[in-house]
A and B are shown apart, each in its own frame.
Chain A
Amino acid sequence: MTAVKEESGQEDPGDMPDRGGEGYVPSQRRIDRERYKRTRARRATSIAALSTLVTGVVLYLVVVSAPGWPRTRETFFNGQYAREAFPKVLEGLWLNVRLLLICGAAVLVLGMLIAVARTLRGPVFFPLRALAAAYTDFFRGLPLIINLMIVVLGVPALRLQGITVDPVLLGGTALTLTYSAYVAEVFRAGIESVHPSQRAAARSLGLTNRQALRHVVLPQAVRRQVPPLLNDLVSLQKDTGLVSIGGAVDAVRAADIIVGRSLNYTPYIVAGLVFVALTIPMTRFTDWVTARMDRQRAQGGTL
């Protein structure tokens, strides 16, 4: 059981958070129980710290005592190359971030439209449903790298008037096409996971199918889809690097250039760490948002 209401340190009854009672004085039983819980919480913390320390030391020793460690350290963890690569990688990362923001927004909108199109009822919508289904089938199946090559290299080869040849714009389009198909399926699964009784309740209030979807089903669906959506966004963030096949210089490509010149792999490590550093705040943020939504909704309950 989680200690939802872990008491603050003092034993003084006046500091108890329980303000509801008129002249309520905590019993000795409660005070003992809370002291016991605090002791246990302290013990748990120290055990966690100790086991983390031991794990860290063991991992360190295993890596450092490996026979190839001195050479590996030289080629992968070279401080001089790291310092040289870092600003270049950051410069390239700006392209990844912009692509992520623009493509991410486009993917969410397009994915939602496709998902809703697939759940529309009624015979009139058959062509729309079929089109949306065909789209997801095709773009989920088509390998992203092939999609990128067709769009980034194939479209300029057509020499059409008024169509851009900018590899970043074309690459972004290709990413959006593929990821919209993934995200549409995430949304569709979410919509279908909302219990039919919810739709029934909304429809019986006189809401149209569309209003029921908009006000009752989608809010519940989206809430459940936050973790898988984040998963796709993180994946998108890493795949933004693939636009470099058209010649654009992103974080990975920037590292690549230095590696090609120096034959030292440290810049890859730098680029990798920069990507990880970018995803962690995003994950924590969505965890925080969903936890807050849960708290607002649930009353009590310690399971």
Chain B
Amino acid sequence: MSDIPDNSPTSSAVLRMESVRKTFGDTVVLRDVDLEVAPHTVTALIGASGSGKSTLLRCANLLEEIDDGAIWLDGEEITHPRTDQDAVRRRIGVVFQAYNLFPHMTVLENITLAPRRVHGVDRAEAERYARELLERLGLGAKAGEYPDRLSGGQQQRAAIVRALAVRPRLLLLDEITAALDPELVGEVLAVVRDLKGEGMTMVLATHEMGFARDVADQVCFLEGGVVLERGTAEQVFGDPQQERTRQFLRRIVEAGRL
């Protein structure tokens, strides 16, 4: 490593964003956002609802087209108009707040759909790996069930398995516990903690501050579409520099959530 800051897109970051701007009509949702996610690290995006956390994740997965700036995945620019977007999405796993499981398929079919149809894995191998993951996340008995018959926590774990089944390079988690009751939150967060232990690179938008503090290597506080403060968990939670960050954290503490 030289001591010149590495600004080129060939840095070792899994995901890199530079000056990303996103608008919906006249509303600026993301403004000049920079982000760098190193391999095997966890980045937590915190901030109030509407601060742009979810939009940032959706932009990283190309579900939203950015207006300005650029995004690199493994050093390759993915926001160029010539980019094969499907190929990019094949390398990124996403878990949504509302699970978004396909209701007309069993859990096993949900999980094996992409490995079989997109990645060309044969049925036996896809199902073997799916069952292995389900077993590990405590859903071994639910493979043949339809999503509507599972509890929220089970559905969300099934959704995580579906995202993992394609062995993604990067996992994006969009407030995955927001729709769960506290008892079920624990079981889902335990899964994320395990994944960190295995070295999965993750970016997560979350309202679970305690969890963010525990698991995140990097914390970004978003406010009005801007990354107002970033640093290690100790820095952002222990010694926030910005007044807005302090306010936000104080309110979280008052609400008994930290």
Contacts and interface: CB of A to CB of B under 8 A. Distances in A.
Nearest to A2: B65
B68 A27 contact: yes
A280 interface: no
B64 A27 contact: no
Nearest to A30: B68
- Which of B23, B58, B68 gathers most chain A CB within 10 Å? B68
Interface residues on B, range: 20 to 34
A36 B64 CA distance: 19
B28 interface: yes
B84 to A, nearest CB: 11
A159 interface: no
Given A27-B69, A29-B70, A36-B81, A21 B28 contact: yes
A206 B70 CA distance: 49
B247 to A, nearest CB: 22
Given A18-B23, A19-B26, A20-B23, A33 B81 contact: yes
A49 B123 CA distance: 44
Contacts of A19: 26
Contacts of A1: 62, 65, 85
B49 interface: no
Contacts of A26: 68
Interface string A260-303: 00000000000000000000000000000000000000011111
A21 B81 contact: no
Contacts of A37: 81
A40 B82 CA distance: 10
Interface in A199-228: none
Nearest to B85: A1
A201 to B, nearest CB: 14
A30 B67 contact: yes
Contacts of B81: 33, 36-37, 40
Interface residues of A, number: 22
A133 B182 CA distance: 47
Interface in B57-74: 58, 62-65, 67-70
Contacts of B28: 18, 20-21, 24
Contacts of B24: 299-300
If over half of A's interface residues share one DSSP class (helix, strand or loop), that class is named, otherwise mixed; here it is loop
A246 to B, nearest CB: 47
A33 B70 CA distance: 10
Given A18-B23, A20-B26, A21-B31, A29 B63 contact: no
Given A1-B85, A20-B26, A37-B81, A302 B65 contact: yes
Given A18-B23, A21-B28, A303-B63, A29 B68 contact: yes
Nearest to B18: A29
Contacts of A40: 81
Contacts of B23: 18, 20
A4 interface: yes
Interface string B50-62: 0000000010001
A20 B70 CA distance: 19
A301 B63 contact: yes
Interface string A20-43: 110010110110010011001000
A300 B52 CA distance: 13
20 contacts: A1-B62, A1-B65, A4-B65, A5-B65, A5-B67, A18-B21, A18-B67, A19-B26, A20-B23, A20-B28, A21-B21, A21-B31, A24-B28, A26-B68, A27-B68, A30-B68, A33-B80, A40-B81, A299-B24, A301-B64
Given A27-B19, A30-B68, A30-B69, 8 more contacts: A4-B65, A18-B21, A20-B26, A20-B27, A21-B31, A24-B28, A29-B69, A302-B63
Interface of B: 19, 21, 23-24, 26-28, 31, 58, 62-65, 67-70, 79-82, 85, 103
Interface of A: 1, 4-5, 18-21, 24, 26-27, 29-30, 33, 36-37, 40, 195, 299-303
